[in-house]
Amino acid sequence: MQALVDAARRKGSVLVAGLDPIPSRFPEELRTLSEAEATLEFCQGILEAVEPYVAAVKLQAAYFERLGPGGMGIYAGLIEAARDLGLPAIADVKRGDIGPVAAAYAEAHLGVYGATCVTVNPYMGEDAVLPFLEEARRQTLGGGVFVLVATSNPSSREVQESTEPPLFEVISGLVAGLGRPAGDYPDVGAVVGATRPEIGSRARELLPETLFLSPGYGAQGGDTSGIRPLLDRNGGGVLVNSSRSILYAYERSASDYRNAAREAARDARDELRL
């Protein structure tokens, strides 16, 4: 995770820009292009616009997979472009398989495509996490694995808080046990949403030394009041993802999509300087 921490310090920003390209929401000037061409131009424009204000980018793989082989070429190209700009790339794939299948997913996203980190669903236990973690360690990019612990979607409570102890507490124990010292934080991080601060606070109690990736800020309703309980004892330890609020800022602005995204990223960066 050190690559993310170093980038955050260098930029003075804990903001992660999510690339979730939805062609139906692209600006009018891109509507004459094919979906693949428009996706590439839109994401490249966003990436270049927000670069001064973000610590990293997070690519939601599904939006590229739906475009077929060409979409995965765009995905790979954007990871490379981010790296050229000095931005670590988080592959948001939420894979949750085991054994050779998990190892193949890990090799694809962390090896072939070159992402710095990957998100993993731990429902099948540590067998679903270890292949990704082993691949991240082989790559020596200063990356690691973010494990889903307490997510920001509304129905997550029905599973993550339904047992005794709550499932998110069990997964927190898994995260703590698998991480290996790798600079400021262990190489296993936790996805902890900004929409449930009371759960986030408990997750921080259980994971005092862990780097959190926090979705839910912005369009999903999370704000700085949901981020503060996630901070570690040094007032850090959290990277905050914002996707739609940045990507589609032009929909509520007179600026073009690049300038609107730049302004939204700058404002979010400043707001998150807690």
Residue 68: CA atoms inside 13 Å, Cβ hemisphere, count? 5
DSSP-derived letter for residue 30 is G
Give 213's strand partners: 191, 239
C-alpha distances in angstroms, 211 versus 30, 38, 172, 178, 189? 37, 34, 12, 13, 5
Element at 61 (helix H, strand E) = none
Residues known to be catalytic = 94
Which helix or strand (DSSP H or E) is residue 45 part of? helix 35-50
Cβ atoms 41, 7 nearer than 8 A: no
Residue 114's Cα: distance from chain center in Å? 15
| 3-state class (DSSP) for residue 68 | coil
Angstrom distance (rounded) from CA 70 to CA 213? 29
